[in-house]
Amino acid sequence: MDLLGHYLQDRQQKIRKTTDGIRSEIYEQLDCGEEISDERLGQIIDEKIRQKQDIQLALEERESIHREIFAAIRGLDVLQELLEDDSITEIMVNGTQDIFLERCGRLERCSKHFENKARLSDVAQRIAAVSNRLVNESVPILDTHLEDGSRVSIVLPPVALNGPVITIRKFYDTPLTIERLTGMGAITKEAAQFLEKAVRAGYNIFISGGTGCGKTTFLNALSNFIPKDERIITIEDSAELQIKNAANLVRLEARNANVEGKNEVTIRDLLKASLRMRPDRIIVGEIRGAEAIDMLQALNTGHDGSLSTGHANSPKDMLSRLETMVLMGMEIPISAIRRQIVEGFDVMVHLGRCKNGRRAVMEVAEPMHIADGEVCMNTVFKRNQQGELVKVGEFTEKTKSKLVRI
């Protein structure tokens, strides 16, 4: 290493020592019980920086130290700056040293890291406190959300062998609309226009796709087409839907059992309760298990216009998964389940990632009928090898006939 390299390395070490020293001093002040507003905290940080005479700091260095200390005390430490970066869509923390980011559908390693496990664990506890949830060695797994709705998954030791793991799926401050998704190439104008009519007409629509393909974002976009005078009830495991411009909106969130294994409120419980709330629309953030039977029964007893999502590799695969999930909640013949699926769901939208990593609609199909014991699917829009979403068929009269409502 040359002289310049040694100088820069030595300077970075001095700045790090200065930053850590100021942070420790302020922590001691806070431990004494003094209540400090955000404005006052900022003033104290600036005063502490000015008092440091052992190193001359440039304006950019002072501002960087200020941001880091403020984020460590009031924000989410090194993650705060990443959360404020609009180009980042997902943050993955694998222990103290490894942080990965997703930008424009591509993964990259971040140069930032946590200094020790204590600081990373402190961030995990701050996130849990936002939603009044518990996460510790006895309850080491938590799915929750930040105040802005961003989805968070936390896994702590001893389950996480290399230290606390935090995964944050960021949401746009302003939810994406169908118009913006069309402009981004995620869906064609023709397919978007049909789905708009389908939502307004009260179609039951199921959105499938893999992890991180934009199911919740797409569901939010479709929800904008629900007539404003209708009563909407959303049901989620962890609140992340961003339903806008709905005057009559009820939001329900499941609750995990306490440390004694009691007081759990499941998606099934909320679905059953919602049917007694006079809903016009029921939106279930994600179907994962036995609640599938309750959802199907609701769809087949007059509760049209419902929206939901689920994990699957294709619309056909989603049907198989729904069958399995129904059987988790009730022992009924497969043939009866398939009939309920065909009668209950009008349209299935499958999302995925293109070769360039971009999230997009891959297929739009409808369950038609049962032949030889299997559900027959009619694919209307499908993305081809060139990455274009093209129309490959027509909806059946059964599906088209419901559009007369609008």
pLDDT, tens digit (0-9, with 9 covering 90-100), for 262-316: 788 999 999 999 999 999 999 999 999 999 999 999 998 888 899 999 999 999 9
- Based on the domain organization, do 313 and 384 belong to the same domain? yes
Instruction: Tell me what pLDDT residue 346 has.
Output: 93
Percent of the chain past pLDDT 70, that is, above it, reads 94
Tally the C-alpha atoms within 13 A of residue 13's C-alpha that lie toward its C-beta: 6
What's phi and psi for 183, nearest 5 deg? Answer: -65, -30
DSSP state of 255: B
Cα gap 29→27, rounded to integer Å: 5
Cα gap 344→287, rounded to integer Å: 14
What's phi and psi for 290, nearest 5 deg? Answer: -65, -15
Other CB atoms within 10 Å distance of the CB of residue 213: 20
- The answer to which of 172-176, 229-233, 320-324, 360-364 has the lowest mean pLDDT is 172-176
Structural domain count, the chain: 3
- Based on the domain organization, do 231 and 336 belong to the same domain? yes
Residue 168, pLDDT above cutoff 90: yes
Question: Which residue do the tokens 């970075």 mark?
Answer: 12
> Which value, in Å, is the radius of gyration of the alpha carbons in the chain?
25
Instruction: Tell me what pLDDT residue 387 has.
Output: 87
Query: What torsion do the CA atoms of 52, 54, 60, 65 make, to the nearest 10 degrees?
Result: -50
User: Residue 61: which domain range?
Assistant: 1-73
Instruction: Tell me what pLDDT residue 33 has.
Output: 56
Instruction: Tell me what pLDDT residue 30 has.
Output: 64
| Better-predicted residue by pLDDT, 324 or 60 | 324
CA 80 to chain centre: 18
pTM, entire model: 0.77
Quick: pLDDT tens for 347-401: 999 999 888 888 999 999 999 889 988 899 999 999 998 889 999 999 888 777 7
Residue 143, pLDDT above cutoff 70: yes
Token reading at 26 = 């302020």
- Based on the domain organization, do 350 and 379 belong to the same domain? yes
Quick: pLDDT tens for 99-139: 999 987 789 999 888 888 888 998 999 898 887 788 888 88
Instruction: Tell me what pLDDT residue 35 has.
Output: 66
**Domain termination site, one of 127, 153, 171:** 171
Average pLDDT over residues 89-96: 93
- Based on the domain organization, do 58 and 111 belong to the same domain? no
- The answer to which of 45-49, 87-91, 164-168, 393-397 has the lowest mean pLDDT is 45-49
Query: What is the number of H-type helices and E-type strands within the chain?
Result: 13, 15
Quick: pLDDT tens for 19-48: 777 777 776 666 555 666 777 777 777 877
Cα gap 288→292, rounded to integer Å: 7
Instruction: Tell which residue, 259, 341, 330, has the closest CA to residue 299.
Output: 341
Decide if 29 contacts 23 (C-beta within 8 A): no
Instruction: Tell me what pLDDT residue 312 has.
Output: 94
Exposed/middle/buried for 280, CB within 10 Å: 0-12, 13-18, 19+?
Answer: middle
- Based on the domain organization, do 167 and 230 belong to the same domain? no
CATH at residue 390: 3.40.50.300
Decide if 233 contacts 281 (C-beta within 8 A): yes
CA 186 to chain centre: 18
Give the CA distances from residue 203 to residues 219, 225, 285, 376, in Å, rounded to whole numbers and listed in that order.
Answer: 13, 12, 17, 19
Residue 406, pLDDT above cutoff 60: no
DSSP state of 265: B
Instruction: Tell me what pLDDT residue 58 has.
Output: 79
- Based on the domain organization, do 188 and 164 belong to the same domain? no
- Based on the domain organization, do 367 and 242 belong to the same domain? yes
Cα gap 143→32, rounded to integer Å: 33
- Based on the domain organization, do 270 and 339 belong to the same domain? yes
- Based on the domain organization, do 372 and 275 belong to the same domain? yes
Instruction: Tell which residue, 343, 340, 318, has the closest CA to residue 330.
Output: 340
- Based on the domain organization, do 79 and 65 belong to the same domain? no
- Based on the domain organization, do 255 and 392 belong to the same domain? yes
Instruction: Tell me what pLDDT residue 259 has.
Output: 66
